[in-house]
Structure 1
Amino acid sequence: MNHDDTTAAARRRPMRTLALAASTVALLVPQALVASPATAASSDAARGPRGVSAVTYDLGDQAYRLPGTGEPVEIAGTVHYPTDLGTTPLPLVVLLHGWHETCADRAAAEARTAAELAQDWEAYEAASRKLFSWPCAPGTRPIANDRGYDYLGEELARRGFVVVSIRANGINASSVWGDENASARADLINRHLALWQRLAASGRGGLVGAFRDAATGQPRRVDFRDRVDLNRVGTMGHSRGGAGVTWQAADRHKDQWPTGVKVKAVLALAPAYNVMTEDMTAYEITKTPVAVLRGTCDGQVGTEAFSFAAEATARSTAGFHQLAIPGANHNYFNTEWSPRSGEVAARDDAAHDADRPGQCTEPGGSAYAPQLTEAEQRRGVAAYAEGFFRQYIGDGRRF
């Protein structure tokens, strides 16, 4: 199966493909995030931008075990929400990161780099095991991969969404791969959604008493009962998280959604699919709107991100959108993976040419574009995500 080209079935139906110049992203985003007169007329956004609060929850590094392997996975996440939750239940957006190091072991990262230069692959694997372990060794801090989307959570919460970014370090450190990895990530999403459905419906369940202030770590009581609408759920998955949200929303897997939960919009951000899958029906989505974004300087995911998603939605009667962002790479979408964070294993994954300063392309590519800064890239995806989720689970205005 060739995923480098959109299939004939996908080509038979209209499909929106957008390509924004790097300068256009930077210039249009501030205007896109400012409330317009039309905003004031809509029901959900009539109050305009809202104050935002943030809490975390962590039910343990080994809160559940992966089916089949028994490997431990945490149930933990970061929540951004309007400080004033109001009286009308708000839509919920779930964010899921992809495959990245799990433990902030700087010595192991340095040893891995040295081993790679020396082509000592045994030492390389030993160092990698320390960086991809779960739980992390005593005294080693876990990398907060879920916090890499705080900027997105804040922006969506400002616009009237409750946003939960969930951590999947245990899956990153596990042995599950390919479609099994996507399935495991989907199961993790469903476990979080079940907790939120019970909390919103009855004020009970595992999240009661679990919230802590995201800045201070002090216990916080937040009453989400009757304030979160689990019939209006959107998901965003980055990298392998993109495969996870596609799998979770697929027609074949809807029966695994918790009772009382409806996923109505899926955003795959630079998704890393298993392009060798032999069963595309496992990813097929026909009734849920899907959007796919990818940067032209992505050093980890190729254009198959578009063609795979197009094939998965080829028979869809809902919206399908795809956006190519010139000058965007893979890692800048997550602040923890980006160089300015100073975090272990953070890097710029775009390809560069010394003769083209300030420009980038994908590995092996020949089409260069001015590279977006970390802040520009995030403003772009925040504006797009807000418009996408607003249309499909918010007030319904087109983006």
Structure 2
Amino acid sequence: MKRHKRTRTPARLLGLSAAVLTAAAAAFTYTAATGTAIPNEATEPSAAPSSGATRTVRYDLGNKAWHLPQTGEPGELAGVVHYPADLGTGRHPLIVMLHGLHDTCADRKAEAARTAAEKSGDDAAYEAANAKLAAWPCAPGTPALPSQRGYDYLGRKLAARGFVVVSVGANGINASSVMGDDNAAARADLINRHLRMWQQLSAKGQGELAWKFTDPATGAARRVGFAHHVDMGNVGIMGHSRAGAGVTWQAADSHRKQWPKGVDVKAVAALAPAYNVMTEDMANYRITKTPFAAFRGTCDGQVGGEALPFAADAATGNRSGFHRFAIRGANHNFFNTQWSPQSRQVAAFDDATPVKGHPGKCTDREDGPPARQLTEPQQRHVATTYLDAFFRRYLLGDTGQNLILTGARHPDAAITDVDVTSAAP
């Protein structure tokens, strides 16, 4: 039974792996003291200089251009691309971002019907409305819910740093029947499919993406010279929610052979990852050869507190760099603008649990510790700060970001506290 409001998975009985905190490198834990931000430190020159100006294009090869390997169900091959306006003469690291589980079709009438059915307890009406909201492809005349556009704020920031950033759609997976580890595997396969297309485009200017870029606003064709300007040997991936599990699966040591030829993933970030915590084979998630970062908000109403210990367990033995960030007052949905109330999008909601008698305070469970809830812009600002630092460090070699990644410096201390645990390389 599909519900638009995801329920928290039972906690996996895992403790923080001692190996993560003691092996290979010194591990540090810091908590920001609000109002004690340290001035910016000088950083090394960026390996991919950019003027800061960016542009955006999109591509869409069709709602049935790809099929889930487990079931054959259809999925889209679509993405929005943010990139430096001047690609120059060199190659730019590629970052691929993937969204998690959410409704797939922006059907407002179905949303209203589902809300009414939920209030009245009419299960049949609820399921009928839910089927329309969680379909793929969507019914004629019903637009797809563009979850991939929910990270535009992050894509533009990273593009201004010199990265080529593509956020891809996964509505087909969200509407499919795959669950648990199979869901993570399907998302990993989708990422690899996009990486293969970008490898072909970068190497020879050919393949499925050639001549397929359009203007996001007008739909007019846009010609962009990505050929020989994307460094496929220097790739970062970021997944939110269920896609957090997907990128961990994709970057796992045991799945590296599935990466397309010529592609090397150098950094993986799991944002509020919704792992299958009942998995019996951690080898499918074990990352020891790739820098890895995991993030979770203390007011996340969708993903339980077991997410960070699970990520730590997956990083056991990682000597490349492992970083965990617990963001005080952050929920689950505000990381994606399309899932957040200010967007007025279908199925957008605030998933944080309010604290009775304490307006403005939130938690992740009824008996959990309270925190001042971050606004949508605040939460995205903090996420951008730490994701930017992570990718700059491991894709551009900017060691000046180590101060942020180890918790020695808290650039957003005036906004909120961020608990940082780091096993630096």
| Bucket of the pairwise TM-score, normalised by the shorter protein | over 0.9
Residue 143 (str. 1) matches residue 153 (str. 2): no
Segment drifting more, 201-210 vs 61-70: 61-70
Note if contact 1:18-1:323 (Cα within 8 Å) is conserved in structure 2.
no
1:372 aligns with 2:374: yes
Kindly indicate whether the alpha-carbon contact (under 8 Å) linking 2:70 and 2:182 is maintained by their aligned counterparts in 1: no
- State whether structure 2 residue 214 is matched by structure 1 residue 212: yes
Render the CA deviation track for 1:62-89: whole Å, top value 9, x for unaligned.
0021123111000000000000001110
The answer (yes or no) to whether the contact 2:83–2:164 under 8 Å persists in 1 is yes
Distance in 2 between residues matched to 1:18 and 1:293, nearest whole Å? 15
Which sections of structure 1, spanning at least 5 residues, go unmatched? none
Question: Secondary structure of 1:212's partner?
Answer: coil
Identify which of 131, 152, 158 aligns with 2:154.
152
Moved more, 81-90 or 116-125: 116-125
Partner of 2:330: 328
- Give the secondary structure class of the aligned counterpart of 1:151: helix
Relative to structure 1, the CA distance from residue 201 to residue 245 in structure 2 (aligned partners, 3 Å threshold; closer, same or farther) is: same
Q: What are the superposed Cα offsets for residues 240-262 of structure 1, whole Å, 9 maximum, x if unpaired?
A: 01000000000110000000000
> One-letter code of the match for 1:220?
R
Find the aligned partners of 1:160 and 1:365 in 2 and give their Cα distance. Answer: 44
Classify the secondary structure of the residue corresponding to 2:89.
coil
Deviations 1:192-212 (A, max 9, x none): 000000100000000011100
1:6 correspondence with 2:16:
yes
Question: What amino acid is aligned across from residue 214 of structure 1 in structure 2?
Answer: P
Equivalent residue for 1:168, pick from 167, 170, 184:
170
Distance 1:68 1:148 in 2: 27
Deviations 1:141-162 (A, max 9, x none): 1000000000000000001100
Q: Is the 8 A contact 2:104 2:174 kept in 1?
A: yes
The equivalent of 2:410 in structure 1 is none
> Which residue pairs with 1:280 in the alignment?
282
Unpaired segments ≥5 residues, structure 2: 1-10, 402-425
Q: Partner of 1:265 in structure 2? A: 267
User: In the aligned structure 1, how far is the partner of 2:291 from the partner of 2:58?
Assistant: 29
Check 1:143–1:46 CA distance in 2 against 1; reply closer, same or farther (3 A cut).
Answer: closer
Does residue 1:42 correspond to 2:45, yes or no?
Answer: yes
Give the Å deviation of 1:58. 0.2
Which structure is higher in RCO with an 8 Å CA cutoff and minimum separation 6?
Answer: 2
Alignment-derived partner of residue 89 in structure 2: 87
Counterparts of 1:43 and 1:165, CA distance in 2: 23
Aligned to 1:383, the other structure's residue is in SS state helix
CA distance in 2 between counterparts of 1:149 and 1:259 reads 28
Q: How do residues 273-312 of structure 1 correspond to structure 2 at under 5 angstroms? A: 273-312=275-314
Q: CA offsets per residue over residues 224-272 of structure 1, 9 Å max, x none?
A: 0110000000000000010000000001100000000000100100000
Check conservation: 1:15, 1:320, Cα contact below 8 A.
no
The separation in 1 between residues aligned to 2:48 and 2:227, in whole angstroms, is 21
User: Given that residues 68 and 186 in structure 2 are in contact (C-alpha distance below 8 angstroms), is that contact kept between their aligned partners in structure 1?
Assistant: yes
Could you say which residue in structure 2 is the equivalent of 1:111?
Answer: 113
- Could you tell me how far 1:183 is from its partner in structure 2? 0.3
Partner SS state of residue 291, structure 1 = strand
Change (3 A) 1:307 1:102: same
Instruction: Work out the CA distance in 1 between the residues paired with 2:200 and 2:64.
Output: 21
Contact 1:92 1:162 survives alignment (8 Å): yes
Compute the TM-score of the two structures, normalised by the length of structure 1.
Answer: 0.93
Q: CA deviation at 1:291?
A: 0.4
Q: Structure 2: which amino acid aligns with 1:312?
A: A
Q: Secondary structure at the match of 2:130?
A: helix
The Cα shift of 1:214 comes to 2.0
Q: Which amino acid aligns with 2:77?
A: I
Shift of 1:349: 0.4
Q: In 2, distance between residues paired with 1:75 and 1:216?
A: 20
Give the structure 2 partner of residue 197 of structure 1.
199
Taking structure 1 as reference, are residues 199 and 339 closer, same or farther at Cα in structure 2, changes over 3 Å only?
A: same
Distance of 1:274 and 1:93 partners within structure 2: 24
Secondary structure of the structure 2 residue equivalent to 1:180: helix
How many Å separate the matches in 1 of 2:240 and 2:132? 23
Whichever residue aligns with residue 130 of structure 1, its letter is K
How far the C-alpha of 1:395 sits from its partner, in A, is 3.4
Contact kept, 8 Å, 1:17 with 1:322, in 2: the verdict is no
The percentage of aligned residue pairs carrying the same residue is 57
Report which of the two has the higher share of helix. 1
Tell me the residue number matched to 2:384: 382
Partner of 1:134: 136
Query: Offset of 1:288 from its aligned partner?
Result: 0.4
Correspondences of 1:22-41 after superposition (within 5 Å):
38-39=42-43
Q: Distance in 2 between matches of 1:396 and 1:104?
A: 41
C-alpha distance in 2 between matches for 1:7 and 1:66: 33
Q: Give the alignment partner of residue 123 of structure 1, picking from 122, 125, 135.
A: 125
Amino acid at match of 1:7: S
Aligned partners of 1:327 and 1:372 also within 8 Å? yes
- 1: CA distance, partners of 2:20 / 2:319: 12
